[in-house]
């Protein structure tokens, strides 16, 4: 049990270091993929619009000045609004963009499961007795093939 706890802590520490390093020393490529051009509404790394080029230059300048990833993003949000973020924030109304698709998938899965369960339970093996004349004719036809 102790080895498991130590293993979990080591994994947590190993994954926490790159995350904090990315926050403190962001790369321009990383930020360009997380910000959207206000003109063409594609990420900065995919855009060649004039404003996107200026935004890329500003990102590089801010990184050289020692700004963190959060500070740079906050500046762009202040200047262009939250629509400049490629991914909605995980708070406030932006949280709905994260929760609603998952809730929809859950509801759809539950509905399909319920329908499948009802379909499998609702089937009854009902056999209508054949009309005696029809049964006699069927037996006669089958006898011909024997």
73 Cβ contact partners less than 8 Å away, ≥ 6 residues apart: 31, 34, 35, 85
Question: Would you state the pLDDT for residue 34?
Answer: 92
Q: What is the per-residue pLDDT for 17?
A: 44
Average pLDDT, integer, range 118-133: 76
C-beta separation of 118 from 75 below 8 A: no
For residue 80, what are the CA distances in angstroms to 42, 53, 60, 77, 133? 14, 15, 18, 5, 84
pLDDT tens-digit series, residues 96-110: 888 889 999 999 999
| Domains recognised in the chain with CATH numbers | 15-103 (1.10.8.640)
Band of residue 52 on the pLDDT scale cut at 50, 70, 90: very high
* Amino acid 8: pLDDT: 56
Residue 141 contacts residue 130 (beta carbons within 8 Å) = no
Residue 26's φ and ψ, nearest 5 degrees, are -70, 160
More confident residue, 89 or 18: 89
Proportion of the chain above pLDDT 90, given as a percent? 45
pTM, rounded to two decimals = 0.55
pLDDT given for residue 88 in this prediction: 77
């Amino acid at each position: 049990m102790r080895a498991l706890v130590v293993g979990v802590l080591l994994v947590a520490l190993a994954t926490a270091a790159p995350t904090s390093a990315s926050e403190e020393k962001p790369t321009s490529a990383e930020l360009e993929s997380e910000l959207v051009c206000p003109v063409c509404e594609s990420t900065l790394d995919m855009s060649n619009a004039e404003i996107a080029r200026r935004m890329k230059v500003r990102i590089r300048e801010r990184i050289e000045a020692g700004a963190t990833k959060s500070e740079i993003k906050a500046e762009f949000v202040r200047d262009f609004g939250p629509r400049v973020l490629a991914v909605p924030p995980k708070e406030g109304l932006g949280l709905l963009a994260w929760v609603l698709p998952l809730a929809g998938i859950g509801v759809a899965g539950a509905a399909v499961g319920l329908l499948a369960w009802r379909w499998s339970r609702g089937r009854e093996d009902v056999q209508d007795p054949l009309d005696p004349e029809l049964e006699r004719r069927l037996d006669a036809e089958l006898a011909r093939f024997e």
